[in-house]
Amino acid sequence: MNIHTVATTPFADQKPGTSGLRKKVAVFQTPHYLENFVQAVFDCVAAPPGSTLVLGGDGRYYNREAIQVILRMAAANGIGRVLVGQGGILSTPAASCVIRKYQCLGGIILSASHNPGGPAGDFGIKYNTGNGGPAPEKITDAIYARSRELGSYRIVAAPDVPIDRPGTHALGAMQVEVIDPVADYAELMEALFDFAAIREMLAGGFRLCFDAMHAVTGPYAHEILERRLGAPAGSVINGVPLADFGGGHPDPNLTYAGQLVAIMYGTATATPAPDFGAASDGDGDRNMILGRNFFVTPSDSLAVIAANATLAPGYAQGIAGIARSMPTSAAADRVAEKLGVPCYETPTGWKFFGNLMDAGKVTLCGEESFGTGSSHVREKDGLWAVLFWLNILARRRMPVEEILHRHWAEYGRNVYSRHDYEGLPLDIANGIMAQVRERCGDLSGRRFGDYTVKFCDDFSYTDPIDGSLSTGQGLRIVFDDGSRIVFRLSGTGTEGATLRLYLEAYEADPARQQVDAQLSLAALIAIADEISQLRQRSGRERPTVIT
Ligand code: VG1
Ligand code: CO
């Protein structure tokens, strides 16, 4: 075999963010850029000879080229076998599923998730470990350190491996196995949920619309929702993965999934809206859940799933515990309390849930950013959440909206919203954070209208399993009644800075639970602006995206 050692100079900017390394496509196309990072991964992982790796991505622009480079580098770095999704496709949760099922060493996932794709868009890469989950910080830190010092990478000279049909190919001493990207995942879903009950509900006229946003979930949704569950053809929209996501922004929220929102709010056609709507993101790990004329916040979705978990066969024995990211609302905490199970609060990013799941401390995990999942894999899982909801609906037989109203009546409502200010100049965003940080010290005990500040801090987390400490995870202002304002800078963007403002208030009175969230939160929104001078400093009158 023809192994080349290619000299390279390190890059200074290959620090993985909230979820892997994300950069503009053009940056990844810089000579040696991708190779440099991949070699850093191989150096840190130190794979025992003959190990098996999983490789796939969300199908975005540059996916196919990157797959070929990584295959050639894997062969040169002593990997024994690589399982590649056909066409280079594997959703993030499906990759996690395959790593676990075949007990692989780990996997490389090519995705920039919800970030736009295409030649002018973003590309991304991350490493997942043998538990199927994103590498923890100690590994990503090591990869970053290695990327800044390595002087060469190893690659074999060989023609492209054909990846468009299932089959096995040799690449030097390494075997490349092209696998069906959907089969293992669909089988796992069938084992967790009551497909018969969902099928019966759909046969009875229940209508659903799933928007794959021209991203990776198209083939998964066609197979599972239409073929296996019998939803009529056309229930899945935008189901063909495209390298540029059809020019869209594959982020399943009320702004970017506008087509689905129009359908679910009945403004798209004269026919009544479907009973249930959902969307997923670029790499298939996020989900948005909608009822007819109704939006379920991701924080509430986690709480409802937890409260109804035993309706799904895979969770009939109950859940061990719940974990949520710090900015996620405390709705799930209330359910955990009632169930008598622990609820953990972690920093943002799925990598912080892995240890808790591996240790059997939690079954369900969630983030306010449209991420929900469980210990069935080690990633958040969009279609899993959709199937969980369908399972609950098939058993409870009432509209989505009514499920939420009853949930709030029982537990109280954690009124919640996130305001994103995207593409701010870095110095402005840093200035706003500095302003809040500076005021943090003397906020305790201060009154703002009806609210009194209990404490203000910069969230840090000590992992209860391995003791590792993560600091600087978001500035939170917590009030006496549990209401909160959180400021955080995004770690997934590639342009300027995105500032996220998270707002949460608790409403126990059922008579006031149905007030619009932005109205309920108006006082907190004003306090956030007063403390941060956000509007004045950013020159923005309103957020880019409100969730
Ligand atoms: C965002 C979300 C976070 C999520 C991360 C990766 O990170 O807030 O909850 O885990 O994206 O999701 P940030 O740092 O931009 O706030 V995905 O679907 O992009 O893998
Ligand atoms: Co994603």
For residues 205 and 300, membership in a common domain is answered with yes
The residue with greater pLDDT, 466 or 494, is 466
- Mean of the pLDDT values across residues 236-255? 93
Read off the DSSP letter of residue 225. I
Q: What is the atom index within ligand 1 of the atom nearest the CA of 286?
A: 18
- Mean of the pLDDT values across residues 341-349? 97
- Mean of the pLDDT values across residues 82-111? 97
For residues 234 and 147, membership in a common domain is answered with no
> Is the model's pLDDT at 9 over the cut of 90?
yes
490 lines ligand 1 (CB under 6 A): yes
> Is the model's pLDDT at 270 over the cut of 90?
no
Name the residue with the closest Cα to ligand 1, atom 2: 369
What pLDDT does residue 511 have? Answer: 87
For residues 250 and 363, membership in a common domain is answered with yes
**CATH assignment at residue 127:** 3.40.120.10
The helix (run of H) or strand (run of E) holding residue 15 is: none
SS3 for 165-195 is CCEEEEECCEEEEEECCCHHHHHHHHHHCCH
> Is the model's pLDDT at 267 over the cut of 80?
no
Structural domain including 166 reads 3-181
Q: How many domains does the chain have?
A: 3
Report pLDDT digits (tens) over 70-80: 999 999 999 99
Name the residue with the closest Cα to ligand 1, atom 10: 349
Q: Which of 126, 146, 181 is the last residue of a domain?
A: 181
Share above pLDDT 70 across residues of the chain, in percent, rounded to a whole number: 99
Q: How high does pLDDT run on average in the chain? A: 95
Are the C-beta atoms of 115 and 100 separated by less than 8 Å? no
Which mutation among 18, 91, 326, 352 tests ligand 1's pocket best, with the greatest number of atoms within 8 A of CB? 18
Where residue 106 falls among pLDDT bands split at 50, 70, 90?
Answer: very high
Q: Which ligand sits nearest to residue 20's alpha carbon?
A: 1
For residues 325 and 354, membership in a common domain is answered with yes
Distance CA 216, CA 85 (A): 12
Distance CA 528, CA 522 (A): 10
Distance CA 476, CA 55 (A): 38
- Burial track 115-140 (b if 16+ CB lie within 10 A, e otherwise): bbbbeebbbbbbbbbebbbbbbbebb
For residues 272 and 307, membership in a common domain is answered with yes
Distance CA 393, CA 181 (A): 28
> Is the model's pLDDT at 1 over the cut of 70?
no
Distance (Å) of CA 529 to CA 48, 489, 535 = 53, 16, 7
For residues 271 and 375, membership in a common domain is answered with yes
What pLDDT does residue 512 have? Answer: 86
Distance CA 502, CA 504 (A): 7
Report pLDDT digits (tens) over 18-61: 889 999 999 999 999 999 999 999 999 989 988 999 999 999 99
Name the residue with the closest Cα to ligand 1, atom 1: 492
Residues catalogued as catalytic: 113
Where residue 303 falls among pLDDT bands split at 50, 70, 90?
Answer: very high
Transcribe 64-102 into DSSP letters.
HHHHHHHHHHHHHTT--EEEEEEEEE--HHHHHHHHHHT
**CATH assignment at residue 486:** 3.30.310.50
Residues β-bridged to residue 156: 3
For residues 351 and 216, membership in a common domain is answered with yes
Share above pLDDT 90 across residues of the chain, in percent, rounded to a whole number: 91
> Is the model's pLDDT at 300 over the cut of 70?
yes
Token pair of 476, please?
A: 């939170």
For residues 163 and 276, membership in a common domain is answered with no
Which mutation among 251, 486, 492 tests ligand 1's pocket best, with the greatest number of atoms within 8 A of CB? 492
> Is the model's pLDDT at 269 over the cut of 90?
no
Name the residue with the closest Cα to ligand 1, atom 17: 113
For residues 161 and 200, membership in a common domain is answered with no
For residues 330 and 315, membership in a common domain is answered with yes
Q: Which of 411, 427, 451 is the last residue of a domain?
A: 411
Which mutation among 346, 369, 422 tests ligand 1's pocket best, with the greatest number of atoms within 8 A of CB? 369
What pLDDT does residue 496 have? Answer: 84
For residues 494 and 452, membership in a common domain is answered with yes
For residues 383 and 422, membership in a common domain is answered with no
Q: Tell me the residues surrounding ligand 2 (ion) with CB < 5 Å.
A: 113, 281, 283, 285-286
- Mean of the pLDDT values across residues 109-135? 95
Q: Which of 411, 426, 456 is the last residue of a domain?
A: 411
Q: Give first-to-last CA distance, the chain, whole Å.
A: 53
What pLDDT does residue 513 have? Answer: 84
114 lines ligand 1 (CB under 6 A): yes
